[in-house]
Amino acid sequence: MADEEQSPSRLAEVRAARIEKVARLRELGVDPYPSTFGERQEIAWAREQPEESGVRIAGRLVLWRRHGGSTFANLRDQSGQIQIQLRKDVVGEGKYELVKLLEVGDFIGVSGPLFTTRTGELTVKVEEFSVLTKTLRPLPEKWHGLTDPETRVRKRHLAYIADPEEMRNVATRATFIRSIRSFLEERDFIEVATPVLESIPGGADAEPFTTHHNALGRDFYLRISLELPHKRLIVGGFERVYEVGRVFRNEGIGREHLQDYDLLEFYWAYADLDALKQLVQQFYASVIESTFGSLKLTYGDDVLDFTPPWPELDYFELFRGIGIDLDAHPTAEALLPVARERVGDEAKPGLGRGRLIDMIYKREIRPTLIQPQLLTGHPVDISPLAKRDPQHEGRVQRIQVLMAGSEVGNGFAELNDPLDQRARFEEQQRLREAGDREAQMLDEEFLEALEYGMPPTAGFGVSIERWLMYLTNSPTIRDVVAFPLVRPPSD
């Protein structure tokens, strides 16, 4: 890191002093970076042992209080933290010289019996210790920690050191995904893997990233959803498939939006919308209960209650609730004045009716939907891949899961009429040509597959990160991923 070494700062001095300590350790015959400490116990386990038990633990020094011939320090591993005491008369005068070369941040291994200090703190009386890793850079300040949001994201390792609690989100995510898999596996869904690079990105309204394939000499898109390949698997004869896969959307950064995230999708042949509604509620209840141990979780000022059955809301009813009869505005032109009144200039002429409806919904309705519930009866205009509802002209058989004013799950009876699907894609193409960059692209290969026949199928998708953000009461979605995208440092 040449740029670091040029820096004439305090950091450079600290770093030089620590490199000097590395050299002094070597002069004393101590390897500052040994390969192993051998067997060790977890600190959390050690804390459970009775007094006088011998323990052997390792970790990072996080606090350091030297006073003459005795030094107290706090040692932390992934499981927890414990105080240790290093005494000159216990470890020996020669070995105690090494203590002077240690500092906060270093990894050491220690062994010795447990005792309780006069102030009541469980402590390891260190008889033997070894340096495991000497650190060169100072840790964030011990009391205030690391507060700068930029550094917290760019140097996530420091954020975890400063706030070990945050590591929990990583573990929670692992448990959560395991629960998801086992719920679906128990119901005979097969986990599949579909391509990340696509000729035509489909299955969602989103702008894609592009990349280049050298050998084929052409550009590809990174997928924005998993939907179309999964449906081709259903065409091929699979009846229950699912995937947890990374998707990429070339769009804005915000508290609810990442550029790459894990999407869960599953497709279930011969199931209708009613069956999907039942399964989705069971699914959410099951994975939330097994991950968090409760169906009532706090988000912000609200307690979200996931106990089924959830209320069901009708899309058109909600619009009537805010004084808009969508049936009375059957075209984009007819709806435009209403939309402008509600959302202002953002509602531009040329946008499709679906996009206008969606804008009003997102502005006026969705933020009021706090408790987990199912939204149904969406207009066909905003659902180009969903089957029409034979009971309601202009509407589709679709559900969205709403919680905390946000969309956390989306499913429908999949459109399997190939000619209708072609017509919907053609309508999307018209919208694209009119300037809607998120309108979907026509996928001829997918249409051809549909012409071979896809049985009636219910499908569902949900963003793992968005879902976890609400379940873990995280103010921003960046909190649930270790390394969200950031602008690279300029040189």
- Using rule CB under 7 A, residue 17 touches RNA: yes
> Which residues, numbered 328-357, are part of the site for RNA (CB under 7 A)?
343, 346
Shortest CB 338 distance to RNA, Å? 14
Q: How far apart are CA 1 and CA 98, in angstroms?
A: 28
The 387-416 site mask, x for binding RNA (CB under 7 A), equals: -------------------xxx-x------
Among the listed residues 377, 375, 374, the one whose alpha carbon sits nearest the alpha carbon of residue 308: 374
Shortest CB 357 distance to RNA, Å? 10
Q: Which is nearer to RNA, 321 or 367 (CB)?
A: 367
CB burial of residue 265 (10 Å; 0-12, 13-18, 19+): buried
Q: Which is nearer to RNA, 337 or 455 (CB)?
A: 337
Q: Which is nearer to RNA, 348 or 392 (CB)?
A: 348
Residues in contact with 347: Cβ distance below 8 Å, sequence separation at least 6, in sequence order: 336, 339, 340, 356, 359
Q: Which is nearer to RNA, 64 or 238 (CB)?
A: 64
Residue with tokens 């291994």: 109
Q: Which is nearer to RNA, 367 or 453 (CB)?
A: 367
Strand partners, 406: 403
Q: Which is nearer to RNA, 70 or 373 (CB)?
A: 70
> Which residues, numbered 278-337, are part of the site for RNA (CB under 7 A)?
none
> Which residues, numbered 200-229, are part of the site for RNA (CB under 7 A)?
204-206
> Which residues, numbered 95-154, are part of the site for RNA (CB under 7 A)?
103-104, 115, 117-121, 123, 137-151, 153
| Amino acid letter, 181 | R
Among residues 254, 309, 337, 453, which is the contact residue for RNA, using CB under 7 A? 254
* Both tokens assigned to 217: 């000499």
- Using rule CB under 7 A, residue 11 touches RNA: yes
Shortest CB 168 distance to RNA, Å? 20
Among residues 47, 156, 363, 422, which is the contact residue for RNA, using CB under 7 A? 363
- Using rule CB under 7 A, residue 195 touches RNA: no
Shortest CB 115 distance to RNA, Å? 6
> Which residues, numbered 450-479, are part of the site for RNA (CB under 7 A)?
463, 465-466, 475-477
Among residues 58, 75, 258, 439, which is the contact residue for RNA, using CB under 7 A? 258
- Using rule CB under 7 A, residue 490 touches RNA: yes
Q: H or E element: which one contains 173?
A: helix 167-186
With b for 16 or more beta-carbon neighbours within 10 A and e for fewer, the 17-48 pattern comes to ebeebbeebeeeebebeeeebeebbbbeebbe
Q: Are 295 and 306 in contact (CB under 8 A)?
A: yes
Residues in contact with 210: Cβ distance below 8 Å, sequence separation at least 6, in sequence order: 219, 220, 221, 222
Q: How far apart are CA 210 and CA 208, in angstroms?
A: 6
* Both tokens assigned to 458: 């219910």
Total residues contacting RNA by CB under 7 A comes to: 82
